[in-house]
């Protein structure tokens, strides 16, 4: 199974049979790494409605006949635009054909009226991956770590809008994550961070390996 980073908080998780896309902010990403037309996927997970997460999800969903997985309010909005959806909500779990998904809380704005921001814990191909979305640190991350055995935690470290590196390190510990991948940094000067410092801190204090992915890079999840 491969995890490819497409900048900001966009990841493409691929198994031999399924491709899962997370928060595809591509066309307006200032680094212009890949265009939405080049993405092939079966499911699109959207953590909340802010433009740097919803991004090109609707266009990609239609082009691929992919299903959008999101909170009820956000999924319903995507359905209005003609997308196939699977609505969920915080604390709910569902078994899909590729594996299971738990919708997690996220301390953040929803970006859509009446909604909530979320994260996802996806169990697929023998691995459990926590995509935190945009969130501040919260104590129930410890509970998530007890409920799920998290192999890879994808955590925002950009600060200002989300956790910064110090809080994300603490989050990794609370989640009892086996590996950490930082996201949501260096897209703009406001969220500039040194991921190398974050890596050294988490590895030295908590002995959790941190994998820094440069945009376009792929990590094999074995």
Q: Which is nearer to Mn ion, 52 or 73 (CB)?
A: 52
Please pick, from the candidates 42, 134, 159, 167, the single residue that binds Mn ion as defined by CB under 5 A: 134
Q: Does 50 bind Ni ion (CB under 5 A)?
A: yes
Q: Which is nearer to Mn ion, 54 or 208 (CB)?
A: 54
Query: How would you classify residue 175: left for phi > 0, otherwise alpha for psi between -120 and 50, otherwise beta?
Result: alpha
Picked from Mn ion, Ni ion, none, the partner binding residue 23 (CB below 5 to 8 A depending on kind) is none
* Alpha helices, H only, 108-187: 141-147, 165-175
Residue 217: CB minimum distance to Ni ion, A: 23
For the segment 13-72, give every residue that binds Mn ion (CB under 5 A): 52
Q: Which is nearer to Ni ion, 124 or 132 (CB)?
A: 132
Distance between CA atoms of residues 186 and 158, nearest Å = 7
Picked from Ni ion, Mn ion, none, the partner binding residue 8 (CB below 5 to 8 A depending on kind) is none
Q: Does 167 bind Mn ion (CB under 5 A)?
A: no
User: Which span sits near Mn ion by CB under 5 A: 35-43, 127-135, 199-207, 213-221?
Assistant: 127-135
Q: Does 134 bind Ni ion (CB under 5 A)?
A: yes
Contact 43, 96 (CB under 8 A): yes
Tokens, residue 71: 């909170």
Query: How would you classify residue 142: left for phi > 0, otherwise alpha for psi between -120 and 50, otherwise beta?
Result: alpha
Sign of the CA dihedral running 188, 194, 195, 196? positive
Residue 59, burial from CB neighbour count under 10 angstroms (0-12, 13-18, 19+): middle
Q: Which is nearer to Mn ion, 51 or 93 (CB)?
A: 51
| Length of the chain (residues) | 222
Residue 77: CB minimum distance to Mn ion, A: 17
Binding-site ranges for Mn ion (CB under 5 A): 52, 134
Binding-site ranges for Ni ion (CB under 5 A): 50, 134
């Amino acid at each position: 199974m491969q995890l490819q980073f497409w900048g900001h908080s966009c990841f493409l998780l691929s198994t031999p049979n399924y491709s899962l896309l997370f928060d595809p902010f591509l066309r307006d990403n200032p680094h212009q790494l890949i265009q939405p037309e080049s993405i092939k996927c079966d499911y699109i997970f959207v953590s909340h409605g802010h433009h740097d997460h919803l991004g090109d999800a609707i266009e990609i969903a239609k082009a691929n006949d992919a299903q959008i997985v999101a909170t009820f309010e956000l999924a319903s909005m995507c359905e209005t635009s003609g997308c196939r959806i699977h609505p969920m909500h915080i604390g709910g779990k569902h078994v899909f054909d590729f594996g299971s998904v738990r919708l997690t809380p996220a301390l953040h704005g929803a970006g859509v009226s009446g909604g909530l921001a979320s994260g996802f814990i996806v169990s697929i191909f023998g691995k459990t991956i926590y995509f935190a979305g945009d969130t501040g640190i919260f104590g129930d991350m410890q509970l998530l770590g007890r409920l799920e055995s998290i192999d890879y935690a994808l955590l925002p470290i950009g600060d200002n809008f989300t956790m910064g590196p110090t809080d994300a390190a603490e989050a990794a510990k609370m989640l009892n994550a086996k590996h950490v991948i930082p996201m949501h940094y260096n897209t703009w000067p406001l969220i500039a961070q040194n991921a190398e410092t974050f890596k050294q801190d988490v590895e030295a204090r908590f002995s959790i390996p941190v994998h820094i992915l440069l945009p376009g890079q792929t990590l094999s999840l074995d």
